[in-house]
């Protein structure tokens, strides 16, 4: 016979066993979260320590003499204002151009019939196998030939390749009922009008999620902005913080303070739009899976 409680009625022993398993899973989750968060905590705490406390050979979880001098140094003695402006302009430029062009490409591949449509889609899928770092030399040579190094355009243009966003839009447009498109065609709407008036109102959630993730990705980009910019005033914040040093050596607390200031905007964006960020990551993971 089946044990008592098997068909919907839980026995006390089963309840205790489930509670024990749940407590174990919760404990492991908390420990993993603490391990993940500790470097962030350590960086923030170290940024408010005097330099002599940072370089001590033992661990101190809280500074003896907290100070904000390192933040003041970053604000007054570096070009962090320029770096913030450059990061905002380039991140917004990458976000707007990537999302808008990917939406147009996804709509065309999904809804239009033109020669070479399938090979184009296969080419986009195949581009997943090409790491962005492989294209760095080509990008650098092209931007140098165009005279776009040390410019906002030179930072933005090579970062506009994002096949995953095209595929996300393509799959979304595939799922929209054909009746909406047919009704718009009967009203003599153009393809651009159909996209703006029929499909766009349906995908604001997807667009918002992808825009937030693209902005965070563009803000955090380091390799290409590091190679494309040598003028200190044109550096983005992620590249500029590497310049926060001194003629007499590296000051770790100053660099950590600059790193905290660099990461604050994206951390705030994630906290404010956590649900949208999670949605975009889920969409991207579903495509790549």
What is residue 134's predicted lDDT score, i.e. its pLDDT? 85
pLDDT band at 9 (very low <50, low <70, confident <90, very high): low
Residues in the chain: 289
Q: What's the number of CA atoms in the CB half-sphere (13 Å) around residue 222? A: 9
What is residue 279's predicted lDDT score, i.e. its pLDDT? 65
The torsion of the CA quartet 112, 116, 117, 121, rounded to 10 degrees, works out to -160
What is residue 26's predicted lDDT score, i.e. its pLDDT? 87
C-alpha 114/C-alpha 261 separation (Å) is 48
Which of 51-60, 162-171, 193-202 is predicted with the least confidence, judged by mean pLDDT?
51-60
Residue 18 has pLDDT above 80, yes or no: no
Percentage of the chain with pLDDT > 70? Answer: 88
Comparing 283 with 110, which gets the higher pLDDT? Answer: 110
Contacts for 68 with CB less than 8 Å, ≥ 6 apart = 48
In this prediction the pTM is 0.79
User: Strand pairing partners for 246?
Assistant: 249
Residue 265 has pLDDT above 60, yes or no: yes
State the Rg of the chain over Cα. Answer: 25
pLDDT tens digits, one per residue of 112-160: 888 888 898 898 888 878 888 888 999 999 999 999 999 999 999 999 8
């Amino acid at each position: 016979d089946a044990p008592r409680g098997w068909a919907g009625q839980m026995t006390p022993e089963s309840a205790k066993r489930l509670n024990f398993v749940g407590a174990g899973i919760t404990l492991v989750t908390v420990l993993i979260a603490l391990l993940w968060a500790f470097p962030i905590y350590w960086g923030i705490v170290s940024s408010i320590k005097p330099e002599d406390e940072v370089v001590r050979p033992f661990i101190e979880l809280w500074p003896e003499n907290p100070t904000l001098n390192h933040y003041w140094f970053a604000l007054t003695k570096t070009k962090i204002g320029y770096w913030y402006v450059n990061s905002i302009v380039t991140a917004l430029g990458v976000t707007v151009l990537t999302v808008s062009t990917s939406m147009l490409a996804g709509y065309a591949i999904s809804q239009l019939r033109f020669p070479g449509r399938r090979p184009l889609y296969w080419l986009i899928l195949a581009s997943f196998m090409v790491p962005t770092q492989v294209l760095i030399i080509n990008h650098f040579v092209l931007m140098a030939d165009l005279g776009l190094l040390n410019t906002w355009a030179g930072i933005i243009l090579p970062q506009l390749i994002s096949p995953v966003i095209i595929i996300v839009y393509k799959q979304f447009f595939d799922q929209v009922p054909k009746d909406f498109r047919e009704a718009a065609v009967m009203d003599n709407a153009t393809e651009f009008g159909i996209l703006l008036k029929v499909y766009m109102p349906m995908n604001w959630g997807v667009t918002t999620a992808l825009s937030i993730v693209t902005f965070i990705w563009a803000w955090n980009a380091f390799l290409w902005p590091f190679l494309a910019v040598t003028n200190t005033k044109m550096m983005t914040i992620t590249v500029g913080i590497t310049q926060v040093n001194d003629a007499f050596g590296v000051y770790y607390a100053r660099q950590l303070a600059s790193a905290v200031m660099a990461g604050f905007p994206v951390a705030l964006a994630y906290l404010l739009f956590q649900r949208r960020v999670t949605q975009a990551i889920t969409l991207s993971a579903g495509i790549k899976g």
